[in-house]
Amino acid sequence: MKKFLTYFLLPIIIIFLGYMIVKSIEAPVQFKKATEAREVIAINRLKDIRTLEVAYKQTYGKYTNNSDTLADFYKNGKITIIKQIGSMDDSLAVAQKRVKREEILINVKDTLCKEHADFNIDSLRFIPFSHKDTVIMKAIIKKVSGVDVPLFEASMPYHSLLKGLDKQLIINLCAAKEDINKYPGIKVGSISNPNNNAGNWE
């Protein structure tokens, strides 16, 4: 029995313990890599939401907290752009009043959110990797120094964005963010602290 423990069982225990040690070291590393990869996709989606929200506000004077409204604005809305005819550097043309600016209406879908080829307006409302959890969108009009200011925020909490990854590591990450008063996820804009529509990754 002693020989069996020494020559057979003990090596198996050592190998198992070694495997568990390696796994415990590798798990946080793999979790960090997966988190960073998912954050890149989430950030691109929130940037697109911000782009559309800003254009929506320029058109209607306020933001929207409704993803259907934002999608309809992209598909059917129009925005005004300023087209300059002639060059302000051409003093003769300026003197002869041949330099002018015209307002032109163009389709939103023809000009916005063209930065990446995989953009899909019908997927914009969903948090990536979350199995159809939706982006949390808020929009309000808030008094700032006595002035009504439209504000919006769009957020993706880690518990949705990181679904399928190590649950304990997700809990640890959220707790670490909350300990320093940071949002436990990816977020753009703010309805509580106006930040010029900045993202918390910027």
Positive/negative CA dihedral, 13, 17, 18, 20: positive
Residue 144 belongs to domain spanning = 35-189
> Of 69, 71, 54, which is closest to residue 124 (Cα–Cα)?
71
How many folded domains does the chain comprise? Answer: 1
201: in domain:
no
d(CA 53, CA 59): 10
In a domain, 3, yes or no: no
Question: Quick one: average pLDDT of 41-69?
Answer: 96
Backbone φ and ψ of 157, nearest 5°: -65, 150
Closest listed residue to residue 162, CA positions, set 171, 153, 154: 171
Q: Is residue 39 part of a domain?
A: yes
Is the distance from CB of 79 to CB of 105 less than 8 angstroms? yes
101-154 confidence digits (pLDDT tens): 777 888 999 989 987 778 899 999 999 999 899 999 999 999 888 889 999 999
Q: 13-24: per-residue pLDDT in tens?
A: 666 565 556 566
Gyration radius from the chain CA atoms: 26
Q: Is residue 79 part of a domain?
A: yes
Q: Let me know if residue 197 belongs to a domain.
A: no
What is the predicted pLDDT for the residue at 64? Answer: 97
The pLDDT tens digits for 151-202 are: 999 999 999 999 999 999 999 999 999 999 999 999 999 999 889 999 999 9
Q: How far is CA 23 from the centre of its chain?
A: 31
- Residue 145 placed within a domain: yes
10 Å CB burial of residue 84 (0-12, 13-18, 19+) is exposed
Alpha carbon separation from 78 to 55, 70, 150 (Å, rounded): 9, 12, 20
Domain assignment present for residue 26? The answer is no
- Comparing 87 with 159, the larger pLDDT belongs to 159
pLDDT band at 9 (very low <50, low <70, confident <90, very high): low
β-pairing verdict for 147-157 and 136-144: antiparallel
Given a contact cutoff of 8 angstroms between Cβ atoms, the answer to whether 141 and 148 are in contact is: yes
List C-alpha distances in Å: 14 to 6, 22, 25, 83.
11, 12, 17, 73
Backbone angles phi, psi at 6, to 5 degrees: -75, -45
Residue 9 counted as domain residue? no
pLDDT tier at 72, thresholds 50, 70, 90: very high
